[in-house]
Amino acid sequence: MTRDQALALDAADALAPMRAQFSLPPGVIYLDGNSLGVLPRATAARVQAVVQQEWGTDLIRSWNSAGWMELPQRIGDKIARLVGAGAGELVVADSTSVNLFKVLSAALDMAAADAPQRRRIVSERSNFPTDLYIAEALARQRGLELVLAEADDIPALLDERVAVLMLTHVNYRSGRMHDMAALSQAAHAAGALALWDLAHSAGAVPVDLKRDGADFAVGCGYKYLNGGPGAPAFVWVHPRHAERFWQPLAGWMGHAAPFEFTPGYRPAAGIARYLCGTPAVLSLAALECGVDTVLAAEPLGGMAALRAKSLALTRLFAERVQATCPSLALVSPQDDARRGSQVCLSHPEIAYPVVQALIARGVIGDFRSPDILRFGLTPLYLRFVDAWDAAEHLRRVLDSGEWRRPEFNQRHAVT
Ligand SMILES: *Cc1c(COP(=O)(O)O)cnc(C)c1O
């Protein structure tokens, strides 16, 4: 593909107007929306209104008058539309790690009640570490076993010993996407529950939790949902399980009647019991603006249209890199059905300095230890020409050797 052909794709792109929703700094090609989504134009004014009017002027009355109390449900209902969940089934709260602790605890309680001989949590060895740490901690607490395997070996592990299959739908490093329907079905056939982390899926790929047989799900607000740094995360429990158990962080916001201030815990009905403490109102205001940027694509075909563009972008970028950068290996799947919204490349020695040199050129991706160059391509705000230009910058960094400069070889705390 030539640069002119990439420009022609942009001219014909029905989603192109979506880019105007974002405040993109000039001179930057942003390929890190899988780590921190771009700032929506609406966010600053919205947060300022919440600060000045709702907090500054209306003060504590805003819990009622501005609907602060309902934010976890209101935004939850919006995210539900993106992941195949119903209204009232999903809430926004806490971080992905904390929500995972809640749902994995509840899933293990269910398994302990229904099938106490099942003592295994199965996950993928290359799952995001926080997911594995949470599972490890719960396994230690309950005397269970965390069993890790490569993606292809997971189905063979699903047997009568397994309580919960816990997976991240799209792998954060490789960009490889699991078949949620097939694996959930395999888990159920073995009598286990299926728990999915949608951190790299929500707002990035179509997800249909109910159709595909998920029992529990969590996901992230600051990646493809553009909610801002440290945005609250979300949690979903299939309605058939939502009231079976308490989650372990039984705080007052998950109580049936928090403002009765009674000493005993009575869980709220449904998913509301997965709330714990007071909603983070400022962060929720920013998150809602971010979620709205994804929902704005609904009249243009929604997640299906975003997915089609995402696949075309990742394909274009991967093909250009393969054609022009022979020293890099393509790690993310070539098969569209298996690829999330990112392209991962590897180099055994110079992945880190190459990413730094690219960032200095305004092409922002990231490095994932030990050898991965990771590029998230967000269809809401990226153009085809951006993908083409990014690949060209990468070629120049490699051909010129500019990655050798000392400043690109110095490790920062966040990579
Ligand atoms: C980004 C990400 C997280 C982040 O968890 P936090 O609690 O928000 O820090 C968790 N799991 C996966 C799979 C992720 O990709």
pLDDT at 412 over 90: no
Say what the pLDDT of residue 411 is.
87
Query: Is 101 designated active site?
Result: no
How many C-beta neighbours within 10 Å does residue 389 have? 18
Q: Is 223 a catalytic residue?
A: yes
Q: What is the DSSP string of 183-243?
A: HHHHHHHTT-EEEEE-TTTTTTS---TTTTT-SEEEE-SSSTT---TT--EEEEE-TTTTT
Name the superfamily (CATH) of residues 3-30+302-409. Aspartate Aminotransferase, domain 1 (3.90.1150.10)
pLDDT at 275: 98
Ligand 1 proximity of 199 Cβ (cutoff 6 Å):
yes
| pLDDT tops 90 at residue 110 | yes
As a whole number of angstroms, the longest Cα–Cα distance in the chain is 69
Domains of the chain by residue range: 3-30+302-409, 49-295
Decide whether any atom of ligand 1 lies within 6 Å of the 343 Cβ.
no
Asked whether the predicted pLDDT for residue 221 surpasses 90, the reply is: yes
Q: Are 254 and 99 a contacting pair, CB within 8 Å?
A: no
* Closest listed residue to residue 89, CA positions, set 272, 222, 308: 272
Q: Which residues contact 350 (CB under 8 A, 6 or more apart)?
A: 403
Residue among 70, 131, 87 nearest 275 (CA): 70
Q: Which of 222, 274, 384, 408 is catalytic?
A: 222
**Burial class (CB within 10 angstroms; exposed 0-12, middle 13-18, buried 19+) of 362:** middle
Residue 271 pLDDT > 90, yes or no?
A: yes
Task: Identify the CA nearest to 73 among candidates 331, 274, 359.
Answer: 274
**Active-site residue, 197 included:** yes
Quick one: 190 exposed, middle or buried, by C-beta within 10 A (0-12, 13-18, 19+)? middle
Average pLDDT over the chain reads 97
The single residue of 131, 197, 366, 386 carrying the catalytic annotation is: 197
Pick from 345, 358, 356: nearest CA to 386: 358
Non-local CB neighbours of 242 within 8 Å, separated by 6+ positions: 89, 270, 271, 273
The matching CATH number, chosen from 2.40.160.100, 3.40.640.10, 3.40.50.2000, 3.40.50.1000, for 49-295 is 3.40.640.10
Q: Which of the residues 22, 374, 386, 389 is marked catalytic?
A: 374
Per-residue tokens: 43: 């966010």
The answer to whether the 3-30+302-409 and 49-295 domains have the same CATH topology is no
- Rounded CA-CA distance 274/70 in Å is 14
Give me 5's structure tokens: 């052909």
pLDDT band at 76 (very low <50, low <70, confident <90, very high): very high
Q: How confident is the model at residue 284 (pLDDT cuts 50, 70, 90)?
A: very high
Residue 330 bridge partners (DSSP): 345
Torsion angle, CA of 63/67/71/75, rounded to 10 degrees?
-170
Residue 2 buriedness (CB in 10 A; 0-12 / 13-18 / 19+): exposed
> Among residues of the chain, what percentage have pLDDT more than 90?
98
**pLDDT of 382:** 98
Mean pLDDT, rounded, for 259-274? 97
Average pLDDT, integer, range 19-38: 97
Q: What percent of the chain has pLDDT over 70?
A: 100
* pLDDT value for 258: 96
Cβ–ligand 1 distance for 197 under 6 Å, the answer yes
| Whole-number pLDDT of residue 42 | 98
What DSSP assignment string belongs to 60-89? GGHHHHT-GGGHHHHHHHHHHHHHT--TTS
pTM (whole model) above 0.75: yes
Average pLDDT over every residue of 12-37: 97
* Rounded distance from Cα 83 to ligand 1 centre (Å): 17
* Model pLDDT for residues 323-364, shown as the tens digit of each residue: 999 999 999 999 999 999 999 999 999 999 999 999 999 999
Choose the catalytic residue: 30, 128, 367, 408: 128
Measured in angstroms, how far is the CA atom of residue 241 from the centroid of ligand 1?
A: 24
The answer to whether 374 is a known catalytic residue is yes
**What is the three-class DSSP state of 378?**
coil
Q: What is the pLDDT of residue 203?
A: 97
pLDDT digits (tens, 9 = 90+) for 117-139: 999 999 999 999 999 999 999 99
- Among candidates 20, 10, 12, which has minimal Cα distance to 293? 20
* 130 Cβ closer than 6 Å to some ligand 1 atom: yes
Distance between Cα 387 and ligand 1 center (Å): 26
Closest CA to 183 of 169, 173, 171: 169
- CA-CA distance, 295 to 225, in Å (whole number)? 10
Residue 414 has pLDDT above 90, yes or no: no
Side chain identity at 225, as an amino acid letter? L
pLDDT above 90: residue 415: no
Overall average pLDDT of the 145-164 stretch: 98
**What is the C-alpha separation between 256 and 135, in angstroms, rounded?**
28
